Amino acid sequence: MSDIFWLNILIIGGIALCSAILLHITAKKFSIPTDVKEDQIDAVLPQANCGGCGFAGCRDFARACAHSTPTNFSTLYCPVGKSDVMQKVSRILGYNAQARKETCAVLHCNGSCQAAPQKINYEGLKNCRVAHLTTVGESECPDGCLRFGDCVSVCQFGALSIDKDTGLPVVDANKCTSCGACVNICPRHLFEIRPISENNQQVYVACQNKQKGAVARKNCKNACIACKKCALICPEITIENNLSDIPSSISPQEFGQKLKETCPTGAIIYQTQVKREKKNV
Amino acid sequence: MCNKKTFSLGGIHLNKHKISALSPIQEAGVPPLVYIPVKQHIGAPAQIIVKVGDKVKIGTLLAKANEGISANVHSSVAGEIKKIEEIEAENGYSEQVITIQTSADEYEEGIDNSEEINNDIPQSLEEIKELIKSAGIVGMGGAGFPTPIKTSIPENKSVQYLIINGIECEPYLTADGALMLEKPEQIVIGAKILNKVLGIQNAIIAIDENKPQAIEKITKITKRYIGVNVAVCKSKYPQGGEKQLITAITGREVPSGRLPIDVGCVVQNVATVFAVYEAVMKHKPLYERIVTVSGDTSITTAGNYRTRIGTPAEYLLDLAQTDKSKISKLLFGGPMMGTAATNLHSPINKKTGGLLVLQAQEATKPDESCCIRCGKCAEVCPVGLMPFAIASNLRRNNTAPLKALHVADCIECGSCAYTCPAKVPLLDYCKLGKYEVHKQK
C-alpha cells in the first residue's frame, strides 16, 4: 500500500517538476518584452480608438509614441485628447510638447435646401456615397453637399447633426475632436480640419463648386462665382478653378467682417464664436 | 437546339417586355443640333483637334484618342461646329461636348455608304488593326471599353474562344436583336475579321433562345463561313454578362479579379462586331448605332432607330411619339442596369443601347422593410456573393469585412435587389461596398 503511495507521489511530483522547468524555459525564451512606456502612454490616451491620429487605434499610437525620437515626436498628435494628453505623453517620454492650435471640422458648402432646392427626385439608397456614385444629387450641384448625412453617421463624438431647416450638417465645435472621420467619408471632400483663431473665430469659403459662375449660381444661390472681390481685400486669397480659397493663415478678426460683407453670394462664412463658452454650473 | 447553354450559379427569370423585338430598324434622321461627348468610353477623354467654326463632314475626326485607354471620336453629321461646351450628361454631371449645327449629309472621303455586302477580307492584319483603332470602336454593350485594347492580346496569353454576345438579357431592349435580324451576314463577316485579328478560327455567336428568327438566320449564314458558329443560350438574366457568358459557352470560370483573357476568351457585343465590319469593309468610323426606344406603351410607341451619336434623347423620344409630360422616369439603358436620367436633353453616346420611358406607376420604388435573412439574394447572385451580409455590414459603417465578402466581384446586375422580398436596395449597398473597397486600396 505505502509503496504505491510513494510511487505515485514520485511520478506526479516528477512530472510537475519537469513541466515547471520546461514552462520556465519556454517563458524565458519566447517572452515578448512589454514596453513600460507604451503601457504608461496607453493609460493616458482617451481610448476612443477613432483612428484620427492616423494609427490603427490608441494602442498603436502609444507604440508609435514610445518608439519616437524627439524630432519625429512633433508629428504625432492625438486629436481627441489634444494638448492636455500630448503634454502627459511628453512628460512620460521626457520630451517637450509643442502646443498646437485648436482645430475643428468645417463644411465647405452652404447649399441649403433654400439656396439649392431639390430638383431631382433621387430614389436610391439615402446615402451620400451611393448618391454621389449614381447621380449628381438632388440639388444638381456636382460638388455640393448631398444632405444625406453620412458624416453624421460616422461621427463618434456626436459633433455633427443635420439642421432641419437647411438640410446641411452642422459642426458642434465643442464636441468636435478633429479626428477626421467626416473628412474621410464625405465623397465630395467637403470637410476640412481648420484651425480656430486665438479669439475663437474662423473665416472660410463655404463652396466647392468648380463650375463657371453662371452655372454655379443657377444650381445654388450661395455658390462661389469667383468674382475675385475677396481677393481685392486680402491679397493672400487665391482664385483657382472658378473657386476662391481663403488660406487658414489669414486673421479672421482682421478680414472676416469685411470679407463677409463683400461676398455678393454669401459663400464666405465668418464665425465670430466657433466654440460656445463653457458655463460654470 | 436541345443543348441550350447557361451559367451555373444564380440568375433570375424576368418578364422580357421585348415590345419592339420585330420592329424594323428605322432611320432616326439628323437633328438640327448634335452634342458629341468627347468621353464615350472607359478611360481618358479624347483630345479635341477641331475648333469652333470648323466645317465637318460625316466621319471627320473630332477628337483624337489619348495615350493609354482611350478612343477616337468622329463627327456623326455634316455641318459647322458651333460650340465646345460643358452640358449635363444623363447622370446630371457635366461632360464636355462638341456642339455641331447640322446641314445636308456629306461624307468624308473613303466612306462606302452602300448597302452592298462585302465579304472578302483583303487587308493585311496590321491594316485591319489600324482601321479598328482609327474608327474609335468601343464595347457597345454598355461598358464602353475600347475594342483595340481588348483585341490586342498580351504576349504571355493565348486565346481559344471569341464569343460574340448577342444575348441582350435586359428587358425591353431589342437593339442587338434587330441588328441580328437585319444585318446577320455583316455580323458573321465581322466575326471572321476579329477571328483573323486574334489568330483563331473559333468564333461563337451566342444568342438567347427568345430570338428564334435571329438564331435561324445567323445559323443559315454561318454554314457558309468557316470558324463561326452559333450557340443557343437559355433565357436567364444576367446571361449577357461577360463572365456569365464565358461560363455558359466554355464551362470556364473567370477567377476573382482576373480578366476573360486569363481563361482564353474574348467577348464582343454584336453591335461592336457590326461596327468592326463597317470600319474594316466600309471604312466607316463609329458614328451611329441602333437605339431602342421602349417603355410604357401608353405613352410611347416602341421602335429601333439607327441614331447618330450625339442626338439628344428628346429628339428620339419625339420620333417615337412619346408623351413627354407623362414621363416619370427616363432610363439610359435597360431597366436592370440603366442610368436614370436627370434631364431629357442629354445626348446618345456609343454605349447607349436604349431609352426607356416609364410612367409613375411603374417607376415608383416600393417601400423598404426589414431583411428577414431569407437568403434569396445569395441564391440568385450570379457571382455567388451574400448581398444581405454586405448590406448589414455597411449599415453599421463596418468596412473591414467587405474585402473578404468579395464585393469587388459584383457585376452590378441588380438580381439581388430585384428578388428581395423586403425590397432592400441591395444593389446600392453593393455599389457602396465596391466604392469602400476601392478606397481601402
Tell which residue, B175, B172, B169, B177, has the closest CA to residue B239: B169
Question: Does A185 reside within a domain?
Answer: yes
Boundary residue ending a domain (A44, A65, A93): A93
Question: Does B83 reside within a domain?
Answer: no
Boundary residue ending a domain (A93, A123, A139): A93
Domain with B380, as residue range(s), is 376-440
Boundary residue ending a domain (B247, B281, B315): B281
Determine the residue of chain B that is closest to A219 in CA distance.
B92
Question: Does B55 reside within a domain?
Answer: no
Looking at mean pLDDT, say which of A10-24, A196-210, B104-118, B297-311 comes out highest. Answer: A10-24
pLDDT beyond 90 at B164? yes
d(CA B169, CA B275): 21
Is A211 in Cβ contact with B431 (below 8 Å)? no
Judge if B130 and B250 occupy the same domain.
Answer: yes
Cβ–Cβ contact A139 with B under 8 A = no
Q: Which residues of B touch A125 (CB under 8 A)?
A: 425, 428-429, 432
Q: Which residue from A123, A142, A154 is facing B397, i.e. has the nearest CB? A: A154
Question: Does B407 reside within a domain?
Answer: yes
Mean pLDDT within B101-106: 92
pLDDT computed for residue A101 by the predictor: 80
- How confident is the model over A102-117, as pLDDT tens digits? 889 999 999 999 999 9
Is B94 in Cβ contact with A133 (below 8 Å)? no
Helix, strand, coil percentages (3-state) for chain B, rounded to 5, are: 30, 20, 50
Judge if A77 and A117 occupy the same domain.
Answer: no
Judge if A115 and A206 occupy the same domain.
Answer: yes
Is A135 in Cβ contact with B342 (below 8 Å)? yes
Q: Which residues of B touch A242 (CB under 8 A)?
A: none
Residues 155-174 of chain A whose Cβ lies under 8 A from any Cβ of chain B: none
Is A133 in Cβ contact with B342 (below 8 Å)? no
Judge if A167 and A243 occupy the same domain.
Answer: yes
B366 in Cβ contact with B153 (< 8 Å): no
Is B428 in Cβ contact with A125 (below 8 Å)? yes
Judge if B383 and B273 occupy the same domain.
Answer: no
CATH of the domain at A48: 1.10.15
Judge if A176 and A245 occupy the same domain.
Answer: yes
Q: Which residues of A touch B91 (CB under 8 A)?
A: 134-136
Is B91 in Cβ contact with A127 (below 8 Å)? no
Question: Does A98 reside within a domain?
Answer: no
d(CA A243, CA A223): 9
Q: Which residues of B touch A49 (CB under 8 A)?
A: none
**Neighbouring residues of A24: CB distance < 8 A, sequence distance ≥ 6:** none
Q: What angle do CA A213, A216, A220 make, to 5 degrees?
A: 130
Question: Does A148 reside within a domain?
Answer: yes
B260 in Cβ contact with B254 (< 8 Å): yes
Question: Does A146 reside within a domain?
Answer: yes
Q: Which residues of B touch A140 (CB under 8 A)?
A: 92, 342
Mean pLDDT within A15-31: 94
Judge if A85 and A209 occupy the same domain.
Answer: no
Is B428 in Cβ contact with A134 (below 8 Å)? yes
Judge if B276 and B386 occupy the same domain.
Answer: no
Q: Which residue from B86, B94, B435 is facing A129, i.e. has the nearest CB? A: B435
- How confident is the model over A117-170, as pLDDT tens digits? 998 888 889 999 999 999 888 888 999 999 999 999 999 889 999 999 999 999
pLDDT computed for residue B109 by the predictor: 87
Cβ–Cβ contact A242 with B under 8 A = no
CA dihedral over B6, B7, B8, B13, signed as positive or negative: negative
pLDDT computed for residue B253 by the predictor: 92
Judge if A141 and A233 occupy the same domain.
Answer: yes
Judge if A107 and A63 occupy the same domain.
Answer: no
**Neighbouring residues of A245: CB distance < 8 A, sequence distance ≥ 6:** A205, A237, A238, A239
Judge if B258 and B387 occupy the same domain.
Answer: no
Mean pLDDT within B348-357: 93
Question: pLDDT-based confidence at B8, cuts 50/70/90?
Answer: confident
Chain A and chain B share a number of CB contacts under 8 A equal to 51
Count structural domains, chain B.
Answer: 2
Is A130 in Cβ contact with B94 (below 8 Å)? no
Judge if A76 and A118 occupy the same domain.
Answer: no
Question: Does A173 reside within a domain?
Answer: yes
Mean pLDDT within A9-28: 95
Q: Which residue from B86, B93, B397 is facing A136, i.e. has the nearest CB? A: B93
Mean pLDDT within A228-236: 89
Q: Which residue from A134, A187, A211 is facing B94, i.e. has the nearest CB? A: A211
Question: Does B5 reside within a domain?
Answer: no
Question: Does B430 reside within a domain?
Answer: yes
Domain with A45, as residue range(s), is 36-93
| Cβ-based burial of B321 (10 A; exposed 0-12, middle 13-18, buried ≥19) | exposed
Question: Does A21 reside within a domain?
Answer: no
Percent of chain B residues topping a pLDDT of 70:
99
Question: Does B391 reside within a domain?
Answer: yes
Determine the residue of chain B that is closest to A184 in CA distance.
B439
Question: Does B399 reside within a domain?
Answer: yes
DSSP string of B311-373, one letter each residue:
-BHHHHHHHTT--GGG-SEEEES-TTTPEEPS-S-PBP-TT--EEEEE-HHHHPPPPP-----
Please provide the average confidence, as pLDDT, over all residues in chain B.
92
| A97 or A138: which leads in pLDDT | A138
pLDDT computed for residue A278 by the predictor: 67
Q: Which residues of A touch B340 (CB under 8 A)?
A: 123, 134-135
Judge if B144 and B263 occupy the same domain.
Answer: yes
Task: Quickly list H helices, chain A.
Answer: 2-29, 36-44, 58-66, 82-93, 128-134, 150-154, 181-185, 213-219, 229-233, 252-262
pLDDT beyond 70 at A281? no
Question: Does A31 reside within a domain?
Answer: no
Chain center to CA of B42: 12
Judge if A155 and A79 occupy the same domain.
Answer: no
pLDDT computed for residue A163 by the predictor: 93
Q: How far is B431 from chain A (nearest CA, A)?
A: 7
Cβ–Cβ contact A49 with B under 8 A = no
Determine the residue of chain A that is closest to B440 in CA distance.
A184
Cβ–Cβ contact A238 with B under 8 A = no
Determine the residue of chain A that is closest to B397 in CA distance.
A154
d(CA A204, CA A208): 11
pLDDT beyond 90 at A50? no
Judge if A173 and A87 occupy the same domain.
Answer: no
Judge if A177 and A63 occupy the same domain.
Answer: no
| Phi, psi dihedrals of residue A120, rounded to the nearest 5° | -115, 140
Is A142 in Cβ contact with B342 (below 8 Å)? no
Judge if B129 and B265 occupy the same domain.
Answer: yes
pLDDT computed for residue B241 by the predictor: 92
User: C-alpha grid cell for residue B52?
Assistant: 469652333
Judge if A180 and A216 occupy the same domain.
Answer: yes
**Neighbouring residues of A249: CB distance < 8 A, sequence distance ≥ 6:** A236
Boundary residue ending a domain (B253, B281, B309): B281
Count structural domains, chain A.
Answer: 2
Question: Does A6 reside within a domain?
Answer: no
Question: pLDDT-based confidence at A99, cuts 50/70/90?
Answer: confident
- The complex's ipTM works out to 0.88
Question: pLDDT-based confidence at B299, cuts 50/70/90?
Answer: confident
CATH of the domain at A251: 3.30.70.20
Percent of chain B residues topping a pLDDT of 90:
77
Question: pLDDT-based confidence at B1, cuts 50/70/90?
Answer: very low
Name which of B393, B432, B439 to mutate to probe chain A: the one with the most chain A Cβ atoms within 10 A of its Cβ.
B432
- How confident is the model over B50-92, as pLDDT tens digits? 999 999 999 999 999 988 899 999 999 999 999 999 998 988 8
